[in-house]
């Protein structure tokens, strides 16, 4: 998927806009490749990316796309300690990580 309109159809307008802001000009394939590397569904990854972007904007935190993708990867790894039947969605995991640890600009 390389078309932003298709992204809107799959995850909704608000989430798609947040993902595009997170990507900051990088192609959508960046997100899809990161999700694949983490063995995640790209739609789940996109929703989590939207949560991360909105949180960063709300808290006036500016970090690059690579750093945000790394944060998502860390959230995936952290969630692996939770048994699958009890594991929250990646969006919920990212939200919990942000509430607990924040997002460093360093």
Q: Are 93 and 78 in contact (CB under 8 A)?
A: yes
The rounded distance, in Å, linking the Cα atoms of 96 and 74 is 12
Reported pTM: 0.90
Tens-of-pLDDT digits for all 106 residues of the chain?
A: 557 788 889 899 999 999 999 999 999 999 999 999 988 889 999 999 999 999 999 999 999 999 999 999 999 998 889 998 999 999 999 999 999 999 987 7
Question: Does residue 88 fall inside a structural domain?
Answer: yes
Tokens representing 94 are 């990212």
Q: Enumerate residues 6+ apart whose C-beta is below 8 A from 21.
A: 53, 57
Domain housing 86: 4-101
Query: How many domains does the chain contain in total?
Result: 1
Question: Does residue 106 fall inside a structural domain?
Answer: no
User: Which parts of 10-105 are beta strand (E)?
Assistant: none
């Amino acid at each position: 998927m390389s078309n932003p309109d298709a992204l809107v159809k799959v995850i909704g307008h608000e989430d798609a806009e947040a993902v595009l802001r997170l990507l900051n000009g990088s192609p959508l394939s960046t997100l899809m490749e990161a999700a694949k590397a983490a063995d995640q569904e790209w739609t789940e990854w996109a929703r989590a990316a939207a949560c991360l972007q909105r949180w960063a904007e709300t808290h006036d935190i500016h970090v690059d796309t690579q750093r945000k993708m790394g944060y998502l990867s860390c959230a995936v790894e952290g969630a692996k300690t939770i048994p699958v039947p009890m594991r929250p969605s990646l969006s919920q995991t990212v939200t919990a990580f942000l509430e607990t640890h924040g997002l460093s600009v360093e």
